[in-house]
Amino acid sequence: MARSELFPPIDPFETGRLPVDEIHTLYWEQCGNPKGVPVVFLHGGPGAGASPTHRRFFDPGHYRIVVMDQRGAGRSTPLGETHNNDTDRLVADLEALRQLLGIQRWHLFGGSWGSTLALAYAQAHPDRCLGLILRGIFLMRRSEIDWFLNDMGRIFPEAWSQFTGHIPEEERGDLLEAYWRRLDSPDPGIRMAAARAWSMYEGACSSLLPSPDLIAASGEDAHALGLSRIEAHYFRHNAFTPEDRLLRDVHLIRHIPAVIVQGRYDIVCPITTADTLRRAWPEADYVVVPNAGHSAMEPGIRSALVHATERFKAVR
C-alpha cells in the first residue's frame, strides 16, 4: 500500500551557515541518509522559512534531505532583509549550497513560492536536477499578485476585511504600497503590526476548512516578519522579464521527471495557474486533490506529496 502519512520526526545530522554576500548568511541542514539520493526542500513565501515538519515528507532511509532557509527567512540572517534579495540570487544560493555539499544532482521539492524557485532553478540548471515535485503553483505574474492582494476577498471576505482594515481607507487604492510603508517603518511596533496583519491574512486563506493552529502560527513574530517583508518586496520588485518567463522556458525542463500537486480549492494559488503549467508541460504528472486548499499540511495534499517522494525513489 502506498504511504500516505508523513515520516516520523527526525533531527539533522549536520547544520551550517553559508555566507553568500556581505549582508546575508543562510542556514542549512542535512537529514536522513548521508549517502542517500539528495533532495532539497524549497520553502514558500517567499520569506516563510522551513520547519522541522518539512523534513518529514521524505523517507530518511532513502533520501539525503537538504533544507535551506532562503535570504531573509527563518533562521537565515538578517531576518526580513530585502537588500540583495531577488530570484536570481536565490538560484545562485542554491548552486552555492549544492557545490558546498558536494552534490552532483538533486531532486527539488517546492510548494507555492517554492514551486516558483524550483522552476527558476531547474530552468537555469537543468543538468543538476533529478526530478521536481511541485505543489500549489505560483508563477509570479501580475495577475496572481493582484489576486492575492484583492481578489481573495471574494472567497474569504472576513479575512480580507481584516487585511484591508489595517490600512486607512484613503490608502486602500494601493494596498501593496500602503503595507510596504508600514513593513519598512523604522518603528518596530508599526512594522510588526503590519507584518501580523499580512501573514494572518494569508494563513486564514490557506486551508479548505478553518485552521486555528495555522492562523496562530501565521501570527508568530519571526514568521510574520520574514514572510510579510520578503513577500511584499518580491511583489513590488521581482516580476520576471518577460512576465511569463517560467512558462516560456518550460521546454528547457520537459525531459525532467515531475509531479504537480494542486488543491482543487486552493485560493492563495488558484488551480488555473497549475492548469496553465501542466498544459505547457504535458509530460509532468498532474495530481488534483479534490478536497484541499493551499496548505501542504492539508491531509490530501500531504498524502499526495508523500506518495510523490515515494515514487521518486525510482528516479536516480
* β-bridge partners, 56: none
Is a pLDDT exceeding 90 seen at residue 316?
no
User: What gap in Å lies between CA 48 and CA 45, rounded to an integer?
Assistant: 5
| Residue range 211-235, pLDDT digits in tens | 888 888 888 999 999 999 999 999 9
- Give the Cα separation of 199 and 63 in Å (integer): 32
**What per-residue string of b and e applies to 288-307 under the rule 16 or more CB within 10 Å gives b?**
bbeebbbbbebebbbbbbbb
Determine the pLDDT at residue 186.
96
Catalytic positions are 112, 266, 294
pLDDT digits (tens, 9 = 90+) for 72-88: 999 999 999 999 999 99
- Give pLDDT tens digits for 44-59: 999 999 999 999 999 9
CB 26 within 8 A of CB 97: yes
Confidence of residue 99 (pLDDT cuts 50, 70, 90): very high
Domains and CATH numbers, the chain: 14-142+241-314 (3.40.50.1820), 143-237 (no CATH)
pLDDT one-digit tens code per residue, 115-130: 999 999 999 999 999 9
Cell of 147: 489576486
* Contact between 134 and 309 (Cβ < 8 Å): no
Let me know: does 48 contact 113? Beta carbons within 8 Å. Answer: yes
Question: Considering the chain, what is the average pLDDT of its residues?
Answer: 96
Give residue 286's Cα distance to chain centre: 19
Residue 173 neighbours by CB under 8 Å, 6+ apart: none
> Residue 163 pLDDT > 60, yes or no?
yes
Nearest to 144 by CA among 169, 167, 171, 115: 115
| Cell numbers describing residue 303 | 498524502
